[in-house]
Amino acid sequence: MVTHHPRLLPVMWRISGGQDVVAGQWPWQASLMYQGLHVCGAVLINSRWLVSAAHCFLKKSHAPENYRVLLGSTQLFEHTQHTLEMPVSQIVMHPDFEKLHPFGSDIAMLQLLFPVNFTSYIIPACLPAPGLQLLNNASCWITGWGMLNEETPLPTPFHLQEAKVGLIENQFCNLVYGHRLSKNFSVYEEMLCVGDFSTGKAICHGDSGGPLVCDLLSSWVLVGLASWGLDCRHPTYPSIFTNVSYFSHWIDEIQKDNPISLTLFTTTGTLRLV
């Protein structure tokens, strides 16, 4: 007898069931590139910082010079006049990542070497207040460059995908997953459960670290980061996102501990840090 266990995978991967994005529609979406290749999504939160999933950096060098961030583009590897490719100066993974349970504290921050100038194609997402309570009927969207399904990669020109999704109660999500996974893989308070049972819209390989944004009081708020789920052969199972609101204080602390310093040229030609 052969027992088949579902593969639980980090979603380093297209939006399953998504559609092409109009240029400039999600201007905080970034591609995190490792040694020139797209590995994950990331989200711009101000002129110097982005957030992504901590698991995107597993089994990779943490040296910032190996990473670059692509902004202002909806098509990978086809740059336009709106595209910026920015070097990274620092990577900060949450200190509790996976210490308490699988995919726990799955969040990381990236500091850019230079500040970004905002345009209509490059705009940061709003951060949620600590303890934000979301209504199940909130208008929420996911975006990413991941695979279409388990066997089908996103075809050229690698167009950014979007999908509207619903929020699902964590308790119900645990019931759904409880039939297939061990109790170690639970949806905790620091996570959000997202999906669409009618259409199977979900995250897939390559979408990790990408945004879940919700329209709250006419502002797009970053409420989640793509974290994990069943493999893409099971799109009706919900996708799990890191709950950004849960880590609001940590995000603030990292920025305060790493203030921006500017390098200027003086009239004598020397450098001065201010």
Read off the pLDDT of residues 84-102 as tens digits, 9 standing for 90 and up.
999 999 999 999 999 999 9
- Distance between CA atoms of 96 and 75, rounded to whole angstroms? 34
CB proximity list for 224: less than 8 A, separation 6 or greater: 192, 194, 211, 212, 241, 242, 243, 244
Structural domains in the chain? 8-257 (2.40.10.10)
Residue numbers annotated as active site: 55, 106, 208
- Per-10-residue mean pLDDT, the chain, length 274: 36 53 92 94 98 96 96 88 96 96 96 97 97 89 77 65 91 84 81 79 78 95 93 72 98 92 44 37
CB proximity list for 105: less than 8 A, separation 6 or greater: 54, 94, 95, 96, 97, 98, 99, 190, 242, 247
Nearest CA-CA partner of 56 in 190, 146, 125: 146
